[in-house]
Structure 1
């Protein structure tokens, strides 16, 4: 038996989707966001003007960094205890939304200790706080998922905490917020979404509902991500925004794979962008996984769907179009950092989503795979 949860109460799409805020009867909002981008592009002003128009109060918690630490969540919860919001709004990229998700849950359950992930028993729903997610990038799918990805600094590792209570009640997909994304962010977050869809599609836990969502996301992203990168027009940005959420709904019910396990290990250690790491790792991981007949058949099916002879080669070519480096070394990771931290990176790459990879990998195989990804030997 398997229970599917594709999203919270509603997903709002279309022009001026952000105006939905006026209908949500918010009294005291706690807004979680990143650095200056949401202020520069006017998103925060749009949001706060909407809140003021319906008489709601708000407090802004800003400067959430990429690969956010659990300490950021702890700081947010402490402020929330004094402010007593009825609604938490995460607006921006995946990092502030993940912090908003965790802050809402740990605010509602102060008895839980976020510092000890191994002993955490997370709840199925929040006690009192409404959670709204407004993504400004198109990749993480966190606006619909049951995961909050946080960095445990003492472990040099990103961990995806998971529970239904993390699923936002409302996801607002307003494509206007994506128009100011720099091209490298379009590429990296878009490839994050593609990695979600592909790793979900080849996962042995796939089901019919999730299969259709993942398949549709792969097809749509291959078509519209290059356009979003090259032209940056409203239509292509909106399409990628929606396909990203579809991929999120799919993998949230299925799981991911080894590209994410490796990405979390290297991101937790060095702070590189999650989507960039996924994009680089994906073709190497797919080549390893293609030794499995079922996975290979699924990759061949995806190739037919996007009308290419070889799916892995198509991913490599898409990376080239998006100016994604071929290897971790090309990305900027030095030989010294890679070699000096190799054992830790190896150990952490075996954790997380690698545990649900469709092909089990030995430590020796992972060692060779990491060397290949670092050097660019596909």
Structure 2
């Protein structure tokens, strides 16, 4: 019998010719390519969906805890270097030029000299240790805050990035490691706290920038290199007024705002365990840009403390420089962002994009 074709005539069955096989292979290749296109970016979409769900659950949990106890969870993470102006925490944790606080977060966060700012608002003779303690305990329910000192590598050596703020895991060696302080210690053991950097436009001229301060301390500078000169944390690295507005539409681009930006770390979660509304786990964020193996990967709580008046440059206090009358009686939780600076809405949009 001749066997030159792919048929089995002895069994009376039809087979495939070589041409038919080529057609089938081509169709399978087309279908495979279509599947790859359909799943392109699926990992990123899944991550965005998880982040949106996590932000929503964390936001609801913290608000429920506040409703039940009258206070926010305690012991949040200060993301600023507590002793060095315009610098994020743990700047040398991963070695030179290897960031601990993710780069995208550095482009929207900055540092505030907390005690000096409040002295500028309420007067140096008023702002003592007791004032600092009462200000945060009465308004937030915060008693303590956690810092990363120096490189963040304490007596136990290098620890997991999400535990660097924990003084039990990462004991302070006098220069480096974790340090837990009360708010009365600002101006002594520590100086700077992390804020969502804020600048604004003149309400009559959206090409004219205001220069936002509180008590004379700048709110506008960010840690990152926003001017592209290769040197981050300089006076020219100024916040984009659209950033806060994109995070919360109620915060106009024509107002200066004081917004604390602090991480919800493991100790903040543990501070809630005795409550029926406890948030007992601090979730971790991960993406192609944020690796929890070497970067801080907690979610960031944003608290509005003061909101400026609309006005023009040169209008005086209350517009560019926030004063007593600009402060809210109780801080307002605006919500949470992930460690890349994305809100729940931003993550939903990414998860559902075509």
- Assess same fold via TM > 0.5: no
Choose between structure 1 and 2: higher strand proportion. 2
TM-score, normalization by structure 2: 0.24
TM-score, normalization by structure 1: 0.23
Choose between structure 1 and 2: higher helix proportion. 1
Q: Which has the higher contact order (CA 8 A, sep 6+)?
A: 2
